[in-house]
Amino acid sequence: MPDSSAAPAALSDSTDRTDHRPVYVVGGGPGGLATAAALRERGVRAVVLEKAGDVGASWRRHYERLHLHTTRRWSSLPGLAMPRRFGRWVSRADMVRYLEKYAEHHDLEVVTGVEVSRIDRAADGTGWRLSATGGRVLTGRAVVVATGFNHTPLVPEWPGRQGFTGTLLHAADYREPGPYAGQDVLVAGIGNTGAEIAVDLVEGGAARVRIAVRTPPHIVRRSTAGWPAQATAVLVRRLPVPLVDAAGRLMCRISVPDLSAHGLPRPRKGLYSRVRQGAIPVQDVGLVAAVKSGRVVPVAAVESFDGDAVVLADGTRATPDTVIAATGYTRSLEGLVGHLGVLDDRGRPVVRGARSPKQAPGLYFTGFTNPISGMLREIARDARRTAAKLAAKG
């Protein structure tokens, strides 16, 4: 794996004044590494800047149980297939190993321990100026921002949360169920992370597990008769929304039991309509069976805290030992590029992939969507397209 001590000349001084300015890639996760590898393949120098001490930092922090919900075949990055021994659904630990090997295999120029705080147009108007750790000022011909979809944990400002006498943590700080054995745990949020953590807690010996639900999710099987849900998603992603909604409704009725009697009704809005609004279906990795058996109990959404109690949207109160907020993340791009007018009202890039904003040519973003066809698959495609575009510009 690349060593931060092997820093390129661009970082040896306070200012990069190399004649051949590189493409700087901000972030050493899958998106950043894939883009750097695709650029290197086309003869374009790319320098990856990673604020943590290793590549794949976010994957190192995920909970132990996590496996990809996309197949190994469609999760590989450009230029290196994932080993067959990883299995069809790659584990968190194997994903970390793969990213380490990926950087080594492509001999990527990775500099760790360097955090970029702001990106501006270069004074000469022909490139970009990056302000980084230790007062460094770096200039590059182009910049690819790959800091990640799940960047900063988001915990809602629930009234009374500061006075909660139990334990409150974000799902980003959950690793494995051992510390919660014998406890009463409430998981707030029923996306893929919340659903999987709830099942993990039950199987790990938690005494009671409830999951707070604001909007019932669509639940799909990860695979049916060997056919992965991702394959279906790839096939239908460009079809009309009403058609996919109708097909999804039929498929869910066939493959997923109605859990209404257990407190988890089927959603009213169609599956693809919800996806277009940013709500990805929950892939069943044990949630359906846990809810049917009563081991995971759906309850109303969290509204506030009152001492040792959690007040739910239906007025009931619960007194869990621990609340795990599976409430998502923010992109946290405002400080980095917010002044450039390249973000929408939700703080996401206005354009992504191989397209640059009109007002910021040479600035690219990758990994800021969560498509049903698989984030890693789309990251790989974006990397190749972005590299081709930058190589063509010389």
pLDDT-derived band at 251 (thresholds 50, 70, 90) equals confident
**CATH (residue range 154-325):** 3.50.50.60
Mean predicted confidence (pLDDT) in 189-194? 96
| Lookup result for tokens 């996760």 | 29
Is the pLDDT assigned to residue 43 strictly greater than 70? Answer: yes
3-state helix, strand, coil in the chain (%, to 5): 30, 25, 45
Mean predicted confidence (pLDDT) in 351-367? 95
Residue 115 to residue 61: CA distance in whole angstroms: 18
Kindly tell me the number of DSSP H helices and DSSP E strands found in the chain.
10, 22
Task: Confirm if 277 and 270 have CB atoms less than 8 A apart.
Answer: no
Q: Are strands 282-284 and 219-221 parallel, antiparallel or unpaired?
A: parallel
Residue type, 274: R
Residue 24 to residue 12: CA distance in whole angstroms: 15
pLDDT per position as a tens digit, 104-159? 999 999 999 999 999 999 988 889 999 999 999 999 999 999 998 888 999 999 99
Above pLDDT 70, what percent of the chain? Answer: 95
Distance of CA 267 to the CA centre of its chain: 24
Closest alpha carbon to 122 in 144, 137, 136: 137
Residue type, 298: P
**Which residues are CB-neighbours of 41 under 8 A, at least 6 positions away?**
78, 79, 106, 387
Task: Confirm if 92 and 61 have CB atoms less than 8 A apart.
Answer: no
pLDDT for the residue numbered 7: 41
Record the tokens describing residue 112, joined without a space: 């760790």
Q: Are strands 116-121 and 128-132 parallel, antiparallel or unpaired?
A: antiparallel
Q: Computed from CA positions of residues 18, 24, 29, 33, in that sequence, does the dihedral angle turn out positive or negative? A: negative
pLDDT-derived band at 76 (thresholds 50, 70, 90) equals very high
pLDDT for the residue numbered 16: 40
Mean predicted confidence (pLDDT) in 23-42? 97
pLDDT-derived band at 21 (thresholds 50, 70, 90) equals confident
pLDDT for the residue numbered 20: 64
Alpha helices in the chain (DSSP H): 30-41, 57-61, 92-105, 192-203, 229-236, 241-255, 271-276, 287-292, 334-337, 375-393
The whole-model pTM stands at 0.91
Task: Confirm if 78 and 366 have CB atoms less than 8 A apart.
Answer: no
Is the pLDDT assigned to residue 3 strictly greater than 70? Answer: no
Mean predicted confidence (pLDDT) in 17-26? 75
pLDDT for the residue numbered 149: 87
* Secondary structure of residue 243 in the 3-state scheme: helix
pLDDT for the residue numbered 4: 39
Mean predicted confidence (pLDDT) in 224-231? 89
CB neighbour burial string for 149-166, b if at least 16 within 10 angstroms, e if fewer: bbbebebeebeebeebeb
pLDDT-derived band at 274 (thresholds 50, 70, 90) equals very high
Residue 65 to residue 54: CA distance in whole angstroms: 21
Average pLDDT over all residues of the chain: 93
pLDDT for the residue numbered 8: 44
In the chain, what are the domain boundaries? Answer: 9-151+331-393, 154-325
Hey, which CATH number is domain 9-151+331-393, 1.20.120.430, 3.40.50.1820, 3.50.50.60, 3.30.70.270?
3.50.50.60
* Secondary structure of residue 219 in the 3-state scheme: strand
pLDDT per position as a tens digit, 281-311? 999 999 999 999 999 999 999 999 999 999 9
On the question of a common fold for 9-151+331-393 and 154-325, the answer reads yes
Residue 253 to residue 19: CA distance in whole angstroms: 62
